[in-house]
Amino acid sequence: MSENIGMFGASGSGDTSGFGGLVRSAANFGSSERPYGSYFDEVADELERAYPEFSDAIEKVIVDRGELTLHVKREKLFETAMKLRDTQSLRFEVCLGVNGVHYPEDKDRELHAVYPLLSMTHNRRIRLEVSVPDSDPHLPSLVEVWAGNNWHERETWDMFGIIFDGHPGLTRILMPDDWPGHPQRKDYPLGGIPIEYKGATVPAPSERRSYR
């Protein structure tokens, strides 16, 4: 994540607050150590047992705020998903969609896709996270595994430009078909209409001076 300097978002304006020298870098989460707590150890153990390539597929395991996140390599995403769905002791039969997150500062891992999984059988939740570089934003589609991911993957393509290989019809879903760009990316400004009042203008929200 990014490093923020100063207290306000906009630069170039006079800083009278005295907080201009403030440097704040966001926390970088390392892999969590065992025991993970809760049912997370069991899930990890079962997945390891069912999936021999586990250590190769999983980049890191993060336990934070009572939630388990498995960072998966994209080449292994499909296999991992199949194992998570089909293994008797795991049975993550519901995928609650895909959500993209754009981290422009995270070199070669700019685009993240996050899959919240739910096992109704065991009443457990975990999360899969995959990252792809902006220059090669390809991910395997999981529509074959969870058919309900169809629209969610279209939305993530629409909003972030992640291409899901093997999707049955990867078209825009929320934006018009001929829309240029992917609005939820951080390099896409919010826009807005500059309003002029007696010669002065009110800038768009993304350009306003604001707290970080």
- State which residue, 38 or 75, has the beta carbon closest to other proteins: 38
Among 37, 49, 205, 209, binds other proteins (CB under 8 A): 205
Of 23-31, 44-52, 131-139, 193-201: span binding other proteins (CB under 8 A): 23-31
Report long-range pairs for 7-13 (Cβ below 8 Å, ≥24 apart). Answer: 7/211, 7/212, 8/209, 8/210, 8/211, 8/212, 9/208, 9/209, 9/210, 9/211, 9/212, 10/207, 10/208, 10/209, 10/210, 13/209
84 is written with which tokens?
A: 């998570």
Among 73, 74, 109, 127, binds other proteins (CB under 8 A): 127
160 is written with which tokens?
A: 């972030």
Does residue number 1 form part of the binding site for other proteins (CB under 8 A)? yes
Beta bridge partners of 128: 70, 115
Nearest approach in angstroms of CB 27 to other proteins is 5
- State which residue, 66 or 199, has the beta carbon closest to other proteins: 66
Q: What is the DSSP letter of 109?
A: -
Binding site for other proteins (CB under 8 A): 1-2, 4, 24, 26-27, 29, 64-67, 69, 93-97, 99, 101-102, 114, 116, 120, 123, 125, 127, 146-152, 155, 172-176, 183-184, 190, 205-206, 208, 210-212
